[in-house]
Structure 1
Amino acid sequence: MRARTLLPAALTAALITLTGCGSGSSSDDAAEGASASTASSPAQPPASAETGESGDTGAQVPQVLRFTATTVDGKPFDAKTLAGKPTVLWFWAPWCPKCKAQAAETAKVAADYAGKANVVGVAGLDKNAAMKDFVADTGTSAFPHLSDEKGEVWKRFKVTEQSRYVILDKDGKTVYEGVLPGGKGLGEKVAGLTG
Structure 2
Amino acid sequence: MNFGRAPRRTTARTRSRRAARAAVLPVAVVTAALALTACGSGKSGGGGNTNFVASTSDGIDTVPKADRKAVGAIKGTTLDGKPLDVSSLKGKVVVLNVWGSWCSPCRAEAPHLAKVAGATQGKGVQFVGIDTRDTNKDQGVAFEKNYAIPYPSLYDPTGRLLLSGFPKGTLNPQAIPSTIVLDRQGKIAARALQALDEAKLKKMIDPLIAEK
User: TM range, normalised to the smaller chain?
Assistant: 0.7 to 0.9
- From the superposition, tell whether residues 30 and 22 of structure 1 become closer, same or farther in structure 2 (CA, over 3 Å): farther
Match of 1:187 in 2: 202
Q: TM-score, normalised by structure 2?
A: 0.67
Letter in 2 for 1:86: V
Q: Deviations over 1:33-73 (max 9, x none)?
A: 57444327x9x7x52xxxxxxxxxxxxxxxx3644210001
2:161 maps to 1:153? yes
Letter in 2 for 1:182: L
Letter in 2 for 1:22: G
Contact residue 39 and residue 174 of structure 1 kept, 8 A: no
> Which of 138, 145, 149 lines up with 2:147 in the alignment?
138
| Counterpart mapping for 1:21-60 below 5 A | 21-23=39-41, 26-27=43-44, 31=56, 33=58, 35-39=60-64, 46-47=69-70
- From the superposition, tell whether residues 121 and 15 of structure 1 become closer, same or farther in structure 2 (CA, over 3 Å): closer
TM-fit CA distance, 1:89: 0.1
Match of 2:78 in 1: 71
TM-fit CA distance, 1:94: 0.9
Secondary structure (helix, strand or coil) at the match of 1:113 reads helix
Letter in 2 for 1:132: V
Secondary structure (helix, strand or coil) at the match of 2:151 reads coil
Matches of 2:90 and 2:55, distance apart in 1: 31
- Give unmatched runs, 5+ long, in structure 1: 48-63
- Give unmatched runs, 5+ long, in structure 2: 1-17, 46-53, 167-171
Contact residue 101 and residue 139 of structure 2 kept, 8 A: yes
2:36 maps to 1:17? yes
Could you tell me the percent identity over the aligned residues?
31
Aligned residues: 168
Match of 2:104 in 1: 97
TM-fit CA distance, 1:186: 0.4
TM-fit CA distance, 1:82: 0.9
> Which of 174, 181, 184 lines up with 1:170 in the alignment?
184
Q: Deviations over 1:89-124 (max 9, x none)?
A: 000011101011111111111111114111101110
Which runs of structure 1 show a deviation greater than 6 angstroms over 4 or more consecutive aligned residues? none
TM-fit CA distance, 1:130: 1.0
Matches of 2:99 and 2:160, distance apart in 1: 14
- From the superposition, tell whether residues 93 and 104 of structure 1 become closer, same or farther in structure 2 (CA, over 3 Å): same
Q: TM-score, normalised by structure 1?
A: 0.73
Secondary structure (helix, strand or coil) at the match of 1:136 reads helix
TM-fit CA distance, 1:85: 1.1
Match of 2:129 in 1: 121
Contact residue 173 and residue 179 of structure 2 kept, 8 A: no
